[in-house]
Amino acid sequence: MKTIKIASVLILLIVSATGCKKDLDLQPQSEITDLTFWQKSSDFELSANWFYLNTLDDPHDDGTNNNDNMSDIAFGISIDPVSSGTLVAPEQDNNWDNPYSAIRNANKLIEEANGSAIKASITSYLGEGYFFRAYNYFKLFKLFGGVPIINKVLLPSDSLVYTARASRDVVLDSILNDLNTAIADLPAKSSAETGRICKEAAQAFKARVCLFEGTWRKFHASGDANTLLDQAITESKNVIDSKSYTLYQGKGDASYRYLFIDNTSEDNPESIIAKKYRTNINVNGWAYGVSWGNLNPTKPAADMYLCSDGLPIDKSPLFKGYDSCRSEFYNRDPRMEQSIILPATSIIRPQYDTYRPQWPGVDNNRNVNSGYMLYKFISEEPTPGDGGGAFDWNVLRYGEVLATYAEAQFERNNAISDADLDLSVNVLRDRVHMTHLTNTLVSGNGLDMRTEIRRERSVELAFEGFRWDDLRRWKTAETVLPQSVLSIKVTGTQWASQVITIDGNSYNSYFYNAPASQLENGYKLLQPGGQRSFDPNKNYLLPIPTKQVSINSKLEQNPGW
């Protein structure tokens, strides 16, 4: 199987579907004319390649916005306006403009492929066109709800440039129709080029879409949830049954951490959709940025991890409390130490080619305002090329599919069998040798299965950019986000000492003599609840850019904005 070669070509004039005429760059519609370009299979391949480089998500956009900072489990160098409830409707927003640009390119690819004399030989590229159109509409759908649907290439003079928003249901139907077409057109993974979207990838993405909207409808009481949850179950099970993917096990007990930074990621058996990075070509600069404190774990993140007996910290006799800098890490789910650095542990990380102890406020951690230091995604390349790493970003991985199957099963039936837990959640736990989740464990310890399935998802996908979307679809954001953002326990613990000695080495405590204003109930305070808010009538959706609303009289703003 050959590997996809990602290349970029300017096929189209990129224009936001609702852009203003006076702002348009009125150049020819393509640098390579339609009459000469859309002739060979390689032309359609080149057109499809554009999407891989330009539209696949990272959780960070331009390298400074980390999506989980918009939630409760991470906190950046500065206060996030989304999680704080202080966002002001912007004039322009790449979250709106970029998907519509990609949708226009997808429309062009679809139109040319459907009308081509060689259509039978380019079916896979046509399937990619449908997939990426759905992919970008789902970006818009998640953030803004109902949006204008434009499924053909428009000229600036076309009246459809200024079209009204379609309903949420209509947009979802359009997304699912495109994904169903893509699933029919795309080759199975076994016969697809490495790195390209295949049938199973489209099925996995459809499962993501159906879980999102199925649970949104259930908890926002906004329509039939069960039909979508059934589809989420079906498509995630299709991926599982295909046996096209398995969890990454390449580094033994440390495989969970290494799956994100393994330079052999093209062969990663867990990767379903990935954004490709290569040193000195297209580097993963975000992985370098998080090493400098752009994504700091919080107390809610640390508290999510179960003890090794499968019980939460408030129920397990194995929890060792907060007395020392390390005690809360003891007897926990191994994913905790693979995601959050155990204080004073020596690691190699960007810019340092020797092992150095990790400590809040020192070296790369000097920007860390939380006592918890991120370990997940931290590259071991001491001097990454061009300021970034060569490992891929997993846009969609098999671990998510397993979590999706478990949640969809429970939400559809308000119950889940041990057999289905063994097919999903417990496969994730087996990788890190963690106690299984069972109905007996839940009922015998006064636990709640929904809470434990959500916990498993949040732990497995922590800091990968899912948490804010999850809080919104579960309709818990209004309860979770207004809370104070806390970090480590300081009062009455080792962190309150001026000098801390661990493993024979001494460190100055970053939190020694912290003033009362920086603490809440003894915990390090990152942002007080009084500076955070969430309006449930407004903040479950983002505002449409004000410029788009002003130039299109048919385009209604989201409520409250």
10-residue mean pLDDT series, the chain (561 residues): 44 35 39 79 96 80 67 92 96 95 97 96 98 98 97 87 95 98 98 95 98 98 97 98 97 94 77 81 63 86 98 98 98 98 90 83 77 89 58 91 98 98 98 98 98 98 96 98 97 97 94 94 96 98 97 96 97
Is the domain of 178 the same as that of 318? no
**Does residue 354 belong to any structural domain of this protein?**
yes
Beta bridge pairs of residue 409: none
Residue type, 454: R
Question: Does an H or E element contain 81, and which?
Answer: helix 81-84
* pLDDT for the residue 381: 73
Q: Which of 474, 501, 523 is the last residue of a domain?
A: 474
d(CA 21, CA 435): 60
Could you tell me the two tokens for 526? 């990152």
* pLDDT for the residue 200: 98
d(CA 378, CA 393): 13
Is the domain of 352 the same as that of 425? no
CATH of the domain at 32: 1.25.40.890
Task: Kindly report the pTM of this predicted structure.
Answer: 0.92
Residue 331: which region, alpha, beta or left (left: phi > 0; alpha: psi -120 to 50)?
Answer: left
Is the domain of 370 the same as that of 244? no
Is the domain of 438 the same as that of 332? no
Q: Which of 155, 189, 223 is the last residue of a domain?
A: 189
Is the domain of 46 the same as that of 117? yes
Is the domain of 164 the same as that of 216? no
Q: Which of 474, 494, 516 is the last residue of a domain?
A: 474
Residue 316 structural domain: 297-383
CATH of the domain at 263: 1.25.40.390
Is the domain of 118 the same as that of 181? yes
Are the C-beta atoms of 84 and 100 separated by less than 8 Å? no
Is the domain of 321 the same as that of 223? no
* pLDDT for the residue 5: 47
* pLDDT for the residue 66: 76
Is the domain of 326 the same as that of 419? no
Q: Is the Cα dihedral 72, 307, 459, 436 positive or negative?
A: negative
* pLDDT for the residue 58: 66
Q: What is the CA radius of gyration of the chain?
A: 24
User: How many domains is the chain partitioned into structurally?
Assistant: 3
* pLDDT for the residue 276: 80
* pLDDT for the residue 467: 97
**Does residue 229 belong to any structural domain of this protein?**
yes
* pLDDT for the residue 319: 98
